[in-house]
Amino acid sequence: MVVSLVVMITVSSLIVRWDERRLERQAEAGDLRAEQRLERAWSPPSRDNALIGLAFLAAPLIGLFGVFYYFFRTRSRSVLLPWTWSPVGFVMGVAAVIVVLVANVAVVAPLAWLVGIPLEQ
């Protein structure tokens, strides 16, 4: 359980920070859309609270909502108006959640097998 929590928090943080650095490089190169997306991104304390705090306080799977919401929010012009949300942000968010889940299974399943913990239960 602890290993799963650590893997999910680590991979979630790495994905979001990787995207932020990528957007920063694009904004420095003069991309106006990247600048607008960075404006909608979380501040570092808020980002860490969403990605780490949700997983610790509620359940590791709820932290995945923070990963999805980051991509949905940064790629959409408005979260409140339904006609301005971005399908690209939605798809990127779902893809990021799938990457986190696959990484979790790739680490936890072999570890459980090595220790002898049955995964069927």
At position 18, the amino acid (one-letter code) is: W
Sketch the domain layout of the chain as residue ranges: 2-115
pLDDT beneath 50: ranges in the chain: none
**Model pLDDT, residue 84:** 74
pLDDT attached to residue 24: 94
What's the start-to-end Cα distance of the chain, in Å?
14
* Residue range 102-112, pLDDT digits in tens: 999 999 899 98
Closest CA to 41 of 28, 23, 53, 25: 23
- What is the token pair recorded at 68? 């999805």
Which amino acid makes up residue 65?
Answer: F
The model carries a pTM of: 0.85
The first and second tokens of residue 47, run together, are: 């980002």
Q: In Å, what is the CA distance from 118 to each residue of 6, 69, 77, 112, 115?
A: 20, 33, 46, 7, 9
Q: ∠ CA 111-116-121 to the nearest 5 degrees?
A: 95
